[in-house]
Amino acid sequence: MVYEETVVLRVGFDEALAQVKEAFAEQGFGTLTEIDVQQVLRTKIGKEMGRYVIVGACNPELASQALDEVPQIGVLLPCNVVVRESPDGVLVEAMDPGVMATVTGHEGMRPIADDARRRVSDALDRLQATAL
């Protein structure tokens, strides 16, 4: 099962992170959380690694619809977008919201997940277009 989409950006990490937030904001997603995994692991267990940030992106309208349809869907929210360093550039990996409909098995989630999937894909397409 494919559960994410990935694009590679050839800009600095901070610029990539800013571009991700902007592209997702254009699709109606706000940033609920921003977890600096590199810093957390360094502080907690002394692990050194490349830059790695998890952005918790949420579209309030879609989240509300999903919660009305399946109240326990909150365990799968928000949509996580990973921004991480790699030898190839800065990877942007976004969860496929279609997973929410598949995991719940609730048909009422399908149109909501499809809308979210389209918005996530549009954000990633915008990022990919700027990477060319």
Query: CA quadruple 108, 114, 119, 124: dihedral positive or negative?
Result: positive
For the beta sheet containing 30-36, the strands, ordered from the edge strand earlier in sequence to the opposite edge, are: 4-9, 89-95, 79-86, 52-58, 30-36
pLDDT in tens, 97-118: 999 889 999 999 999 999 999 9
> How confident is the model at residue 1, as a pLDDT?
67
Euclidean distance between CA atoms 102 and 105, whole angstroms: 5
> How confident is the model at residue 72, as a pLDDT?
96
> How confident is the model at residue 84, as a pLDDT?
99
CATH class of 4-131: alpha beta
- The DSSP result for 18-48, as a single string, is HHHHHHHHTTT-EEEEEEEHHHHHHHHH---
131 — pLDDT class (breaks 50, 70, 90):
confident
Residues composing the chain: 132
Whether the pLDDT of residue 126 is over 80: the answer is: yes
Euclidean distance between CA atoms 97 and 89, whole angstroms: 25
Mean pLDDT computed over every residue of the chain: 96
Query: When comparing pLDDT for 14 and 130, which is higher?
Result: 14
Q: Which of 44, 43, 19 shows the shortest CA–CA distance to 94?
A: 19
State pTM to two decimals.
0.94
